[in-house]
Structure 1
């Protein structure tokens, strides 16, 4: 009888072991389980990347996804093939439908096995709770620090991810924890009376009015000599690290592109703007900080003349269709000529031969290039969107909008992604439409 019992026990152990091995092979390692969230091993994450029934999701901040090594990871960037759905997006004051639409657009469906990874033990759980509320059942949690510690496992970062900085980096900068060149921190908006700046800004920030770098009626950048005077007045040299942000980030990107054109070597923009700073829990101040001047810029402006182009160059791009594309960064209704998009621009349409590169719902928004917390959208999604519209990144691309603001932001993103032969057509539709001899198209392109 004892032998029979031992035999039965041995068979049971073999069966259990086989079941356990099958579970691990499928990625379902349940050595820990908390509130219905199963943990998964590194080898199982690796083996399930790219499978139709699995989706790997980075739940960390957009900055970590882009390339910054945050929360103690040894290497920055995201797991190759991973999608992004940041826990920060659940803090945004948006309706539930907006957030679920993001899941749908990224292919993160309830029918799949969803692996959520983070580095702080919090982000993945936050997203997991949201998924469970929406009917997701097969949810797994993973600590990406294990992946980052293994040099043989690939992590992807954008080539120039440092151009977009997280709030932690800015905080370290103003706390004198970042060594390097002297820096200047600017909150950028239009107008001398900056209400947002007065209400509260990052400690040490100086207000920068966009009128200091551009002028009407075309709203092109100032002449080169005037731009040099602007730099001297604001204490900017070619070697100054310049950090820009705003309640609305668009003016900051406009100034950033002009500074790069001028020759400032290290230009950064706070990813997500002032909202990102506040959401990170950092302090603000209300006192007005004065500008501090310098006596020399350090180079003749412009150092990078091809970064911003004008009307003659835009015409050459349109004439050279084999190697160049003029990319329209306006809403679809502006592109097809249904509206002009501006109360001070009467003509409607587009430069003949330009290609629509997406933008947003109107002239003040860029939803097609931003996440719902206004950080930069996933680069692979941007590239896929452009590929669908026939925009080849191997060609020379010049971006334009109405007066240069939206296109400047997209140009900066393209730079972050490491694209080359890119520029801003400064005059945009405003300048092009002023001359009736410039060819114009309306309606949907054939």
Structure 2
């Protein structure tokens, strides 16, 4: 009995020590300048930055009706190409030309807002992939700007065209179908395939095998602002995604994935990538495996722009 008691005591001490060690070795996050900024801060930025460019990502019709005074209009279709599938990252040359035409140069401070919770993040991610870290996204988009009482107008500003030079694509933030296939064929426990579509979409059309489902709407509060850094970290750690792991994000066409990428980057995650072809590319090849809910049969997914 004494031997058993001693062994049990030793076992409990080992368990307690393991808990203490884990508590003393929390995940490490990259310290970063906030990439998501409040609408209220826009007024000061406008007043104190001579090389500020505000980008409105509404449709041309919505932009014509109302936008922040001085904002230039860039739409989602300007920053993507549809080859081999919808909403792929546009080429370096087209991206450079677009930025120059909109009066953005390499020294510009770029502030982006939208009204769909994804387009601003997509432009921000595109800038990051092409080497520009001087862009920020307005939290809550146009509605938050309205709540902050910032002046809106229908007048279109005169744009002074510039020259913009992009870096080559930074593959640290970008994955392709071969990376996903590698994870399927030789699973790495330190890699997470993260599907940010809805459970309904999973039920309708399946997912990449072994993917973790995490609806992109979970990154927002009810007023469509991003959840704060602490809440974001807790939510993703609770779902097994610590910053030490590599996280490959996708949705249907990687638009929603861009918003989740922004949320994670803002929270100090750096080992994150977007699978740009996304589920549309994956599911278009009948030879690629698809995981379905138990007892379900695949149906065509509802088509949207994300």
Higher RCO, Cα 8 Å, sep 6+: 2
TM-score range, shorter chain: 0.7 to 0.9
2-structure distance, mates of 1:277, 1:161: 21
SS in 2 for 1:235: coil
1-structure distance, mates of 2:49, 2:156: 24
Q: Is the CA contact (8 Å cut-off) linking 1:250 and 1:406 kept in structure 2?
A: yes
Q: CA offsets, 1:388-421, max 9 Å, x none?
A: 3333331011111111111100100100001121
Q: CA offsets, 1:96-124, max 9 Å, x none?
A: xxxxxxxxxxxxxxxxxxxxxxxxxxxxx
- The match for 1:262 is 130
2-structure distance, mates of 1:232, 1:309: 27
SS in 1 for 2:111: strand
- Residue 44 (structure 2) pairs with residue 172 (structure 1): yes
Q: Is the CA contact (8 Å cut-off) linking 2:106 and 2:164 kept in structure 1?
A: no
Q: CA offsets, 1:420-441, max 9 Å, x none?
A: 2111111111111111111110
- Residue 64 (structure 2) pairs with residue 198 (structure 1): yes
2:199 to 325, 332, 336: 332
1:285 to 144, 150, 153: 153
Cα distance, 1:252 vs structure 2? 0.8
1:370 to 209, 216, 220: 220
- The match for 2:210 is 353
Which sections of structure 2, spanning at least 5 residues, go unmatched?
1-28, 296-306
2:73 to 207, 226, 230: 207
1-structure distance, mates of 2:112, 2:214: 25
- Residue 49 (structure 2) pairs with residue 183 (structure 1): no
What TM-score, normalized by structure 2, do the two folds share?
0.79
2-structure distance, mates of 1:351, 1:204: 43
SS in 2 for 1:184: strand
Cα distance, 1:251 vs structure 2? 0.8
Cα distance, 1:309 vs structure 2? 2.0
2-structure distance, mates of 1:185, 1:326: 34
Cα distance, 1:169 vs structure 2? 2.2
Return closer, same or farther for 1:379/1:218 CA change in 2, 3 Å cut-off.
same
What TM-score, normalized by structure 1, do the two folds share?
0.55
Pairs aligned (count): 264
Which sections of structure 1, spanning at least 5 residues, go unmatched?
1-156, 340-347, 360-365
2:172 to 306, 312, 317: 306
SS in 2 for 1:301: coil
Q: Is the CA contact (8 Å cut-off) linking 2:232 and 2:267 kept in structure 1?
A: no
Q: CA offsets, 1:46-86, max 9 Å, x none?
A: xxxxxxxxxxxxxxxxxxxxxxxxxxxxxxxxxxxxxxxxx
Q: Which has the larger radius of gyration?
A: 1
Q: Hey, which bits of structure 1, 4+ residues long, moved more than 4 A?
A: none
Return closer, same or farther for 1:164/1:389 CA change in 2, 3 Å cut-off.
closer
Q: Is the CA contact (8 Å cut-off) linking 1:239 and 1:264 kept in structure 2?
A: no
Range moving further from structure 2, 249-258 or 380-389: 380-389
1:403 to 234, 253, 271: 253
Q: Is the CA contact (8 Å cut-off) linking 1:262 and 1:301 kept in structure 2?
A: yes
Q: Is the CA contact (8 Å cut-off) linking 2:232 and 2:263 kept in structure 1?
A: no
- The match for 1:394 is 244
Return closer, same or farther for 1:385/1:444 CA change in 2, 3 Å cut-off.
farther
